[in-house]
């Protein structure tokens, strides 16, 4: 009992208090869209504005995806102007960047941009190293709300945590000095133990090389993949990192994420075509439960209906946006599992506390065959005390499947095919879809909005074991809800709502 209440008190302190950077941003993981995964360097005003129309029309802004981020390759190929200022490529951005941010702001979006803490960006345009103040001022003048700040061409200023910290801190300070409140997303791919210092100067920090559209396939370009997947000191982080590699990398320090500062698992690949539907569901749920920033990475103007029904599941997004603001952690990893086509075989159970006392559980099978997975309540509640000491272990828990009310594919097809924004809005309304602009997730969770709680599919008795058959390359995503004991005042409510003396 004491443990439960002290944990709740800690959670309150974190939310009411401060993250180290303390700029009031990213209290829950930021959400939005970034062009890189689908378009790379093929950027333009037209791409950004047609995409923002689409995010709005599909109800995605109102599910929380409110940052529109322009990645690398927006800059003039000739570099800085005569005053040393960055300038956009006018053939791509004929009206300049301020007009884009004005347009996005008028639609209720926030505008994200990109640079690198190097002499060049990764695509070899002018970088911001040693130009931090000038460039921060440009970003502020352009109405930028977020900066993704990469680490290519760093001129050797890397290799120890303090060297990297100071290189990135220069931009963090310059952004703050502009007086505009700009969210800073560091992207140094986990180098120099960024998970130990990123929260001091930024709102999120990338923990691996770039993701690619594969669930488990190892690739040499994702450094250390073959050698030691859990190595936090992995060098040459590179690209081509699978979903499995990324979650293995973050597992030892998943608990470092706090409101205001999050481990960034990279943009989403959902809808890009390289994974199966089940793999994309697992990818999306893991990114939500592990509190990564949730940046869509696909072409939203040409999206399979199934992808739409993954990214718009409010019961999964509610894990990401839960006010408690702590990542799920891995409570179990089994490697004695049938191998898949890449020679990979492992299963994980991730678990995490939620604000209302519920417990999220993701059981994921990275192996080659369907698996009968098991995890005890004692393991699920291990953060509250090992060896079954957690008081939670003494209660029965209802098991809710958070994919149960996924939007039907036919509804998604109608929404995607609807000829006007008004018709789309009418279809979403008819489907009773969630609108977080109307009911913020914190409120929906407090009020037990059924759209956020999936469907009850079973019960685990006190001291018992949760058993699920999990398909190969798939995840089961659950919310455990405490069942009140006979005579309890708040029937069916979560553990934190029950009078203390009844625990
Ligand atoms: C969501 O709710 C807001 C506020 O009521 C409203 O302006 C917006 O149009 C709604 N979104 C959709 C997609 O219906």
Ligand 1, pocket residues at CB < 6 Å: 59, 62, 425, 428-429, 435, 437-438
Residue ID of nearest Cα to ligand 1 atom 2: 438
User: What pLDDT sits at residue 21?
Assistant: 84
Q: How many CA atoms lie within 13 A of 58 on its CB side?
A: 29
Cβ pair 373, 365 in contact under 8 A: yes
Contact predicate 85/131, CB 8 Å: no
Task: Find the DSSP H helices in 230-274.
Answer: 243-250
Q: How far is CA 81 from the centre of its chain?
A: 36
| Partners of residue 359 on adjacent β-strands | 353, 480
- Which atom of ligand 1 is least distant from the CA of 435? 1
Please, which residues have CB within 8 angstroms of residue 169's CB and are 6 or more apart in sequence? Answer: 200, 201
Rounded to two decimals, what is the model's pTM? Answer: 0.94
Atom of ligand 1 nearest to the CA of 59: 13
Catalytic residue among 62, 150, 340, 401: 150
pLDDT at 223: 77
User: Is 338 inside a domain boundary?
Assistant: yes
For residue 220, what pLDDT is reported? 85
Q: Please tell me whether residues 245 and 287 are part of one structural domain.
A: yes
CA of 103 to the centre of ligand 1 (A): 18
3-class secondary structure, 389: coil
Mutate to test the pocket of ligand 1, among 427, 438, 444 (most ligand atoms within 8 A of CB): 438
Is 150 noted as a catalytic residue in this protein?
A: yes
Mutate to test the pocket of ligand 1, among 62, 411, 433, 441 (most ligand atoms within 8 A of CB): 62
Which residue has a Cα nearest atom 13 of ligand 1? 59
Same domain, 369 and 222: no
Residues 294 and 356 in one domain: no
Q: Does residue 274 lie within any of the structural domains?
A: yes
- 435 Cα: distance to centroid of ligand 1 (angstroms): 6
Show the domain range for 136: 11-302
Residue 225: pLDDT band with limits 50, 70, 90: low
* CA of residue 143 relative to chain centroid, distance: 24
Lowest mean pLDDT among 109-113, 392-396, 494-498: 494-498
208, 268: one domain:
yes
Torsion of CA 363, 479, 12, 318, to 10 degrees: 90
Q: Can you read off the two tokens belonging to residue 380?
A: 């699920």
Torsion of Cα atoms, 96 then 98 then 264 then 445, to 10°: -140
Strand partners, 376: 465
Q: Whose CA is nearest to atom 14 of ligand 1?
A: 425
pLDDT band for 235, please (50, 70, 90 cuts). Answer: low
With respect to residue 438, please indicate whether it lies within any of the assigned structural domains. Answer: no
What's 34-91 look like in SS3?
A: ECHHHHCCCCCHHHHHHHHHHHHHCCCHHHCCCEEECCCCCECCCCCCCCCCCCECCC
**Same domain? 337 vs 227:** no
Residue 484 confidence (pLDDT): 82
Query: Across the chain, what does the average pLDDT equal?
Result: 92
CB 445 within 8 A of CB 326: no
Give me the number of domains the chain comprises.
Answer: 2
Unique residue bearing structure tokens 């950004």: 48
> Does residue 16 surpass a pLDDT of 60?
no
Q: Are residues 270 and 352 in the same domain?
A: no
Asked if 264 and 187 count as a contact pair (C-beta separation under 8 A), the reply is yes
The mean pLDDT value for 181-202 works out to 96
What confidence tier does 378 reach under pLDDT thresholds 50, 70, 90? very high
**Ligand 1 center–CA 438 separation, angstroms:** 6
Q: What is the pLDDT of residue 3?
A: 35
- Give domain status of residue 431, yes or no: no
Q: How confident is the model at residue 488 (pLDDT cuts 50, 70, 90)?
A: low
- In this structure, what CATH number is given to the domain that contains residue 39? 3.20.20.70
For 271-311, the pLDDT digits (tens) are 999 999 999 999 999 999 999 999 999 999 999 999 999 99
**What whole-number distance in Å separates Cα of residue 11 and Cα of residue 17?**
10
Residues 264 and 378 in one domain: no
- Return the residue whose CA atom lies nearest to atom 5 of ligand 1: 438
* Minimum CA distance residue for ligand 1 atom 4: 438
- Nearest ligand 1 atom to alpha carbon 57: 13
Nearest CA residue ID for atom 9, ligand 1: 425
**Could you say which of 72, 192, 210, 340 is catalytic?**
210
Look at residue 433 and tell me if it is in a domain: no
Shared domain for 246 and 198, answered yes or no, is yes
pLDDT, average across residues 365-393: 94
Q: Do 89 and 125 form a contact (C-beta atoms < 8 A)?
A: no
pLDDT tens for 37-88 read 999 999 999 999 999 999 999 999 999 999 999 999 999 999 999 999 999 9
Cα of 409 from ligand 1 centre, angstroms:
22
Share of the chain above pLDDT 90, in %: 85
Say whether pLDDT at 14 is over 60. no
Residue 498, pLDDT > 50, answer no
At residue 233 the predicted structure's pLDDT band, cuts being 50, 70 and 90, is: low
The backbone torsions φ and ψ at residue 126, rounded to the nearest 5 degrees and listed phi first, read -60, 130
Taking the centre of ligand 1 as the mean of its atom positions, its distance from the CA of residue 106, in whole angstroms, is: 15
Residue 66 falls inside a structural domain: yes
Judged by DSSP in three states, 19 sits in coil
List the structure tokens of 423. 């018709």
Give me the CATH number covering residue 367.
2.60.40.1180
Q: How far is the CA of 352 from the centre of ligand 1 (A)?
A: 31
Question: What's the CA gap between 3 and 103, in Å, rounded?
Answer: 49
Residue 36 and residue 166 in one domain:
yes
CA distance 77 to 63: 37
Closest CA to 363 of 468, 492, 482: 468
**Ligand 1 atom with minimal separation from the 56 CA:** 13
Which of 371, 308, 318 shows the shortest CA–CA distance to 345?
371
Strand partners, 206: 264
Q: Which long-range contacts (CB under 8 A, 24 or more apart) does 339-343 make?
A: 339/367, 339/368, 340/216, 340/366, 340/367, 340/368, 340/472, 340/473, 341/368, 342/216, 342/217, 342/218, 343/218
Check if 76 is active-site.
Answer: no
Q: Residue ranges of the alpha helices (H) in 178-229?
A: 198-201
Evaluate whether 116 touches 149 at the Cβ level (below 8 Å): yes
- Domain assignment present for 502: no
More confident residue, 307 or 386: 307
Give the count of alpha carbons within 13 A of 27, CB side only.
14
pLDDT band at 405 (very low <50, low <70, confident <90, very high): very high
Are 161 and 242 members of one domain? yes
Residue pLDDT, tens place only, 451-472: 999 999 999 999 999 999 999 9
Q: Are 184 and 224 in the same domain?
A: yes
Q: Is the pLDDT of residue 90 over 70?
A: yes
Q: What phi, psi does 162 have (nearest 5°)? A: -70, -35
Backbone angles phi, psi at 371, to 5 degrees: -125, 140
- CA 422–ligand 1 middle distance (angstroms): 11
Residues of the chain with pLDDT > 70, as a percent, come to 90
Residue 444 within a domain: no
Domain identity same for 243 and 169: yes
Contact (CB, 8 A) for 400 and 455: yes
pLDDT at position 12 is 39
Cα of 60 to ligand 1 centre, how many Å? 10
Helices 421-430 and 409-417, axial angle in degrees (round to 10): 160
Give CA–CA dist 494/355, Å, rounded. Answer: 10
Listing DSSP states for 394-418 in one string gives: GSEEEEEETTTTPPPHHHHHHHHH-
């Amino acid at each position: 009992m004491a443990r439960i209440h002290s944990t709740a008190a800690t959670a309150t302190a974190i939310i009411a208090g401060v993250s180290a950077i303390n700029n009031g941003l990213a209290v829950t993981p930021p959400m939005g869209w970034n062009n890189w995964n689908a378009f790379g360097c093929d950027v333009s005003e037209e791409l950004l504005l047609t995409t923002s129309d689409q995010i709005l029309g599909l109800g995605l802004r109102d599910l929380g995806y409110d940052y529109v981020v322009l990645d690398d390759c927006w800059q003039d190929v000739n570099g800085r102007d005569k005053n040393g200022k960055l300038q956009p490529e006018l053939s791509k951005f004929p009206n300049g960047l301020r007009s884009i941010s004005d347009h996005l702001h008028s639609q209720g979006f926030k505008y994200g941009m990109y640079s690198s803490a190097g002499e060049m960006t990764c695509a070899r345009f002018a970088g911001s190293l040693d130009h931090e103040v000038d460039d921060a001022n440009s970003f502020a003048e352009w109405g930028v709300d977020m900066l993704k700040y990469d680490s290519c061409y760093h001129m050797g200023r890397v290799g120890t945590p303090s060297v990297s910290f100071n290189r990135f801190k220069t931009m963090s300070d310059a952004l703050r000095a502009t007086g505009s409140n700009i969210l800073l997303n560091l992207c140094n791919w986990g180098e120099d133990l960024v998970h130990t210092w990123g929260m001091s100067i930024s709102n999120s920090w990338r923990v691996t090389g770039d993701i690619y559209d594969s669930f488990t396939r190892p690739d040499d370009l994702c450094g250390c993949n073959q050698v030691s997947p859990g190595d936090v000191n992995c060098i040459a982080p590179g690209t081509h990192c699978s979903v499995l590699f990324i979650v293995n990398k973050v597992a030892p320090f998943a608990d470092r994420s706090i409101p205001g500062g999050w481990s960034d698992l990279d943009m989403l690949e959902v809808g890009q075509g390289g994974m199966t539907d089940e793999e994309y569901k697992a990818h999306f749920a893991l990114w939500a439960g592990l509190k990564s920033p949730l940046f869509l990475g696909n072409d939203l103007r040409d999206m399979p209906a199934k992808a739409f029904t993954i990214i718009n599941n409010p019961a999964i997004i509610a894990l990401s946006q839960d006010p408690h603001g702590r990542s799920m952690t891995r409570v179990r990893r089994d490697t004695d599992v049938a191998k898949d086509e890449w020679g990979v075989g492992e299963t994980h159970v991730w678990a995490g506390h939620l604000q209302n006392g519920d417990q999220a559980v993701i059981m994921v099978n990275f192996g080659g065959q369907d698996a009968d997975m098991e995890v005890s309540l004692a393991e699920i509640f291990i953060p509250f005390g090992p060896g079954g000491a957690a008081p939670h272990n003494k209660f029965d828990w209802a098991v809710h499947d958070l994919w149960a009310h996924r939007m039907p594919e036919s509804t998604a097809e109608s929404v995607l095919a609807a000829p006007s924004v008004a018709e789309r809005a009418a279809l979403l309304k008819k489907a009773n879809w969630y609108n977080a602009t109307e009911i913020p997730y914190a409120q929906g969770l407090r009020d037990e909005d059924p759209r956020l709680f999936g469907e009850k599919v079973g019960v685990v008795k006190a001291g018992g074991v949760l058993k699920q058959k999990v398909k190969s390359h798939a995840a089961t995503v659950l919310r455990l809800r405490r069942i009140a004991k006979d005579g309890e005042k708040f029937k069916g409510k979560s553990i934190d709502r029950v009078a203390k003396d009844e625990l």
